[in-house]
Amino acid sequence: MLQINKLWVKLFCRKVGTDQFGNGYYIGSDKNYLKRNKRYVVYKGIDDGSKVPPMWHSWLHYLSDEIPDKNKTKEYEWQTEHVPNVTGTKHAYDPAKSKYTKVKTYSSWNPE
């Protein structure tokens, strides 16, 4: 998000909460095409859409009108922490370099 947009959101919108990553969530007085108040997220650090937790995602996309509360949200043992999207970086997965790729255990048929 551009700095001017972040400034506009912080000046003219009301902050409704933050998530565990420090992202701020705002609601504006301007309306969208559904005649509902627009909702915004201001990312802390790098703008990465995958950093938005599921409950805040549903609020941002008008699937829920209830503002997520960290104390009310139930966490399960199978849930993991966020891992940033590393596509296009040197940390991206490359099957050719993976130690888990299987060795070819068959021989292809070659017609004579």
pTM over 0.85: no
Give me 67's structure tokens: 């503002």
What pLDDT, on the 0 to 100 scale, is given for residue 1? 67
Name the residue range of residue 56's domain.
Answer: 3-97
Domain assignment present for residue 66? The answer is: yes
Domain count, the chain: 1
Task: Report residue 98 CA to chain centroid gap.
Answer: 26
Question: pLDDT tens digits for 37-96?
Answer: 999 999 998 888 888 888 899 999 999 888 888 777 777 888 887 777 888 888 888 877
Radius of gyration of the chain (CA): 22
Domain assignment present for residue 10? The answer is: yes
Domain assignment present for residue 107? The answer is: no
Domain assignment present for residue 77? The answer is: yes
DSSP string covering 1-67: --HHHHHHHHHHEEEEEE-TT--EEEEEEEE-TTSSEEEEEE-SSS--GGGS-HHHHHHHTTS--SP
Domain assignment present for residue 42? The answer is: yes
